[in-house]
């Protein structure tokens, strides 16, 4: 997705050549009060599921498109029609598939989390009144059952993805209501979470509803993963910590909270792991090839590849990496 003035575009490119296959354009401006300093989006990542593509624009306009043709199958307006949380930096949550539904964060009264039927866009369920932030939900197997775990503006919650029932809630709030970095589940059922100001924690969650018990195994303010992606390798999470530039690259043990190292010299960065290597793309457009270990992060090489601001997480398919900044998208042969 990208923007040209007052229009947003959803575009399908030939992965080998970059040639445009189809493009869907529609009028969609940022909301009143949008902070233009950090760009006008769109910020949500499209979801491809079967023959459908689900997208959400910077002010909450959602489309279901035919993957092959780009034809609109149905649409919803999450902010206008559902009373969603109007965010200063635009809608940034990405949709997630579960069963025959696509689940989205909205933030409206009794409609803060909504599941739409993929086929026709009808509401399968809508519930709760949590204020939305900028995070994206994920499905994890916790306590033996599927749970949709997601950050809202003031809390981390566990939801039954089939019904919308609230299973548990854990307060994790900061001054700016910016909970963004997605939680990660360790193999011993410790749930790792992190955001600005309040820092990171490891949670043990048992039971549900009135019987839910949440134990904070550890916590630290030395790790504050913000709006960039993190990578889990074994018991460790690797990522960019800090809200202002320059940032640290850091490692943290999900089970214990131990921080074996923090490295200076990086702008805020997204990461992706493949073939034993951690590729780090910072917001200044510098791409780093690194080898991550609990003991250290070895920087093998780096190159100034893109322009500022490069906030999109890289994608690797086979030996090809796709990267982009605010103006350009490119494919790289990793060899």
Structure tokens at 172: 């994790």
Structure tokens at 253: 């043990």
User: Looking at residue 170, what is its pLDDT?
Assistant: 96
Phi, then psi, of 38 in degrees rounded to 5: -105, 20
User: Looking at residue 89, what is its pLDDT?
Assistant: 95
User: Looking at residue 308, what is its pLDDT?
Assistant: 87
User: Looking at residue 187, what is its pLDDT?
Assistant: 82
Task: Give the span between the Cα atoms of 143 and 212, in whole angstroms.
Answer: 11
Task: Give the span between the Cα atoms of 232 and 182, in whole angstroms.
Answer: 11
Structure tokens at 15: 């992965």
User: Looking at residue 246, what is its pLDDT?
Assistant: 78
Q: What is the mean pLDDT of each run of 10 residues along the chain (335 residues)?
A: 95 97 97 92 96 98 98 97 96 98 96 98 97 96 93 96 97 92 89 94 92 95 92 96 86 96 94 96 96 97 94 95 95 93
User: Looking at residue 31, what is its pLDDT?
Assistant: 94
Domain boundaries, the chain: 1-93
Fold of 1-93: Thrombin, subunit H (2.40.10)
* CA 75 vs CA 26, 112, 143, 290, 302: distances in Å: 12, 18, 35, 42, 42
Model pTM score: 0.95
Q: Dihedral through CA 282, CA 283, CA 287, CA 293, nearest 10?
A: 10
Strands 61-66 and 261-266: unpaired
Q: How remote is the C-alpha of 166 from its chain's centroid?
A: 21
């Amino acid at each position: 997705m990208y923007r040209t003035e007052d229009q947003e575009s959803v575009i399908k490119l030939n992965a080998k050549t970059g040639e445009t296959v189809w493009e869907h354009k529609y009028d969609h401006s940022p909301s009143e009060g949008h902070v233009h300093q950090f760009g006008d989006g769109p910020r949500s990542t499209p979801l491809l599921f079967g023959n459908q593509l689900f997208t959400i624009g910077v002010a909450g306009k959602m489309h279901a498109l035919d993957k092959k043709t780009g034809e609109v199958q149905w649409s919803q307006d999450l902010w206008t029609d559902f009373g969603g949380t109007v965010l200063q930096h635009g809608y940034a949550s990405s949709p997630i598939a579960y069963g025959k539904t696509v689940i989205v964060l909205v933030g409206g009264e009794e409609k803060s989390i909504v599941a739409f039927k993929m086929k026709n866009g009808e509401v399968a369920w809508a519930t709760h009144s949590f204020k939305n932030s900028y995070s994206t939900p994920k499905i994890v197997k916790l306590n033996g059952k599927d749970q949709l775990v997601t950050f809202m503006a003031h809390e981390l919650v566990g939801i039954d993805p089939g019904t919308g029932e609230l299973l548990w809630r854990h307060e994790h709030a900061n001054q700016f209501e910016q909970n963004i970095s997605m939680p990660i589940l360790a193999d011993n059922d410790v749930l790792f979470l992190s955001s600005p100001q309040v820092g990171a924690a490891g949670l043990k969650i048992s039971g549900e509803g009135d019987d839910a018990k949440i134990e904070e195994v550890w916590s630290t303010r030395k790790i504050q993963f913000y709006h960039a992606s993190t990578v889990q390798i074994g018991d460790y999470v690797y990522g960019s910590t800090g809200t202002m530039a320059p940032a640290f690259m850091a490692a943290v043990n999900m089970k214990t909270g131990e921080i074996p190292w923090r490295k200076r010299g990086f702008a805020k960065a997204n990461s992706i792991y493949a073939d034993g290597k951690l590729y780090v793309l910072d917001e200044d457009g510098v791409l780093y090839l690194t080898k991550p270990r609990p003991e250290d992060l070895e920087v093998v090489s780096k190159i100034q590849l893109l322009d500022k601001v490069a906030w999109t997480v890289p994608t690797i398919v086979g030996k090809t990496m796709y990267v982009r900044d605010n103006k350009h998208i490119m494919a790289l042969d990793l060899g």
